């Protein structure tokens, strides 16, 4: 499982809920999802979703909404920071930047080894 893609898709689900919310047509309950709903929509295990949600909570990209003692009216909703992260494809860019960094490292390593071999060959002549 790619956690970065899953974070992006989770933000997408929450962003769609938030952006499609019309106050006259929906209740407040329609602006957030529970962990169980996210597990069903993402086809992931409960533990994986909890890890992803805790990471998004730590980055303040989502918030936990709880309306008192009514457990039916609690869940996660997206913040403005989360909408910006989704629109900017933050987590997808992180994945491509990691790949680019790894390739840069390997290319530098091969260049270094090639330079060492060239120096050794030139010293032997």
Q: pLDDT class for 114, splitting at 50, 70, 90?
A: very high
Residue 106 banded pLDDT, cuts 50, 70, 90: very high
- The per-residue pLDDT for range 1-50, each reduced to its tens digit, is 688 888 888 899 888 887 776 554 555 555 678 888 888 888 888 888 88
Average pLDDT (101-114) is 94
Nearest to 42 by CA among 91, 73, 5, 95: 5
Q: Is 89 helix (H, G, I), strand (E, B) or coil?
A: coil
CA distance 87 to 44: 23
- Which of 29, 1, 18, 5 is closest to 83 using CA atoms? 18
pLDDT tier, 69 (very low <50, low <70, confident <90, very high otherwise): low
What is the average pLDDT across 40-61?
A: 89
**pLDDT confidence bin for 98, thresholds 50/70/90:** confident
> pTM score > 0.75 for this model?
no
Is pLDDT of 97 > 60? yes
Residue 103 has what pLDDT?
A: 94
């Amino acid at each position: 499982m790619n956690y970065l893609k899953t974070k992006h898709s989770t933000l997408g689900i929450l962003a769609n809920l938030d952006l499609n919310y019309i106050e006259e047509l929906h209740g407040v309950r329609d602006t957030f999802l529970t962990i169980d709903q996210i597990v069903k929509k993402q086809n992931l295990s409960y533990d994986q979703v909890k890890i992803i949600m805790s990471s998004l909570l730590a980055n303040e990209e989502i918030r936990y909404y709880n309306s008192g003692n009514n457990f039916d009216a609690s869940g996660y909703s997206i913040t403005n920071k989360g909408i910006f992260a989704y629109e900017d494809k933050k987590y997808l860019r992180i994945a491509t930047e990691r790949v680019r960094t790894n390739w840069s490292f390997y290319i530098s390593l091969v260049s270094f080894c090639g330079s060492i071999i060239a120096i050794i060959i030139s010293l032997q002549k």
